[in-house]
Amino acid sequence: MRLLLILSVLVLQACSTASNVRLYQGPALPNEMETTLVLPLNFELLSLDGQDIAQFEQTFRNHALNIKLTPGFHTLVLQYSDIWEIDNENHDKLTTGQLTFTGSFKEGECFLIQTPPLNTYAQAQAFTQSPSVNLVSDQQTLAGSHIAKADPLTFKKDETTQEISYPHLRQLKFWWQQASSYEKQQFEQWIKSAE
């Protein structure tokens, strides 16, 4: 019971201290009628219900964002991205692939992003390889599915075969069809002598 009370207090604090970004059309709904996703600094919202989200409000921020949604069924695509200091001179940017969450969001519900501990560079590296992320509210937990990102250092084979185009061949065929029997015979003799 005490854990549920602490979680509720943390959810309320997180939902009240961040900037609000409304991602729905029309007039703003009262807070108790909206659904809120608290987006920490190291997460970005890439798309909502198949529509890409502009990144300008998510970039260069130093605080969490409250993403305000209408209640109902939604599909959210998130991505973890953070810069880690390896030593005084070296840094590494770690990112996951796309993290997809699908579920029914209720009025007044506030979701926090739950990850394993990410206190060290090694923990963050392990997390980006196999992320386990949940959206947690005081009413439900939504597990995310991970779409692994492509390795930029791996060469990709192009399996599609492209038809090779010979523009002069088309012209030869055209002129062959226009030529008389005598011209075709002379051309064939010329080819034999050229070989």
Residues in contact with 195: Cβ distance below 8 Å, sequence separation at least 6, in sequence order = none
| DSSP character string of 80-119 | EEEEEE-SSS-EEEEE--EEEEEEEEPTT-EEEEE-S---
- Phi and psi at 78, nearest 5°, equal -115, 165
Section 9-24 average pLDDT = 63
pLDDT, residue 28, reads 86
Select from 158, 91, 86, 76 the least CA-distant residue to 122: 86
pLDDT at 11 over 60: no
Among 14-23, 50-59, 173-182, the range scoring the smallest mean pLDDT is 14-23
Burial of 140 (0-12, 13-18, 19+ CB in 10 A): middle
pLDDT, residue 111, reads 95
The pLDDT tens digits for 94-136 are: 999 999 999 999 999 999 999 999 999 999 999 999 999 999 9
Higher-confidence residue of 171 and 132: namely: 132
pLDDT at 17 over 80: no
Q: How far apart are CA 60 and CA 53, in angstroms?
A: 16
